[in-house]
């Protein structure tokens, strides 16, 4: 499980909205001067992210919580988001190139690129219509409250 601490800012039934500050470990490695991620981190700064999560522990507004998402769910979500549209783009481009070349004896790069973009967009719309982006494994869950005795600091 990938875990992150956050603060509950709103509660909506079984869901909650949390805010989590984006933290970066950039600046501590030896490649900091030539790293693109480090530069991007400096530009973006420490912005807070607001995310809808599943609230099974009954967290209330203002409480510090631990949210988690499974590694497998995150990888499957990334594959859905990136690999399927990329495969659709390649298949559409190759099909368009073959159809234009064999049926019309011509090849238009601009048309082929445009059809590839349409194929990738169509795959995203198809996945959205099937609910593949709303799978529960892709939604983070509140797993602990910070006021639990297990994880509260010893004073």
For helices 109-129 and 84-104, give the axis angle rounded to 10 degrees.
Answer: 140
Number of domains composing the chain:
1
Task: Please give the residue that has the higher pLDDT: either 38 or 110.
Answer: 110
Instruction: Indicate whether 7 belongs to any domain.
Output: no
| Number of neighbouring beta carbons within 10 Å of residue 16 | 27
Mean pLDDT on 127-150: 78
Which tokens go with 49?
């992210």
Alpha carbon distance 74, 76 (integer Å): 6
* Residues of the chain above pLDDT 70, percent: 76
Instruction: Indicate whether 93 belongs to any domain.
Output: yes
| Number of neighbouring beta carbons within 10 Å of residue 140 | 22
Residue pLDDT, tens place only, 142-155: 898 886 544 444 44
Instruction: Indicate whether 98 belongs to any domain.
Output: yes
Residue 111 C-alpha from the chain's centroid: 31
Instruction: Indicate whether 103 belongs to any domain.
Output: yes
- When the pLDDT of each residue in the chain is averaged and rounded to a whole number, the result is 79
Domain that holds residue 79: 73-129
Residue pLDDT, tens place only, 50-97: 888 999 898 888 889 988 888 888 888 888 889 999 999 999 999 988
Instruction: Indicate whether 14 belongs to any domain.
Output: no
Q: pTM for the whole thing?
A: 0.60
Instruction: Indicate whether 137 belongs to any domain.
Output: no
Instruction: Indicate whether 138 belongs to any domain.
Output: no
Alpha carbon distance 67, 81 (integer Å): 22
Instruction: Indicate whether 24 belongs to any domain.
Output: no
pLDDT at position 122, please? 94
């Amino acid at each position: 499980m990938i875990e992150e601490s956050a603060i509950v800012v709103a509660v909506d039934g079984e869901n909650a909205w949390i805010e989590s500050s984006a933290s970066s470990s950039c600046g501590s490695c030896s490649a900091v001067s030539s790293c693109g991620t480090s530069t991007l981190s400096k530009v973006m700064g420490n912005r807070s992210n607001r995310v809808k999560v599943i609230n099974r522990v009954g967290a209330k507004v203002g409480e510090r919580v631990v949210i988690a998402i499974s590694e497998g769910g995150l990888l499957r979500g990334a594959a859905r988001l990136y690999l399927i549209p990329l495969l659709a783009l390649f298949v559409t481009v190759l099909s368009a190139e073959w159809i234009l070349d064999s049926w019309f004896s011509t090849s238009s790069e601009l048309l082929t690129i445009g059809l590839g973009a349409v194929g990738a967009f169509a795959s995203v719309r198809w996945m959205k219509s099937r609910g593949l982006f709303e799978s529960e494994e892709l939604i983070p869950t509140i797993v602990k409250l910070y006021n639990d005795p297990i994880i509260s600091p010893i004073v």
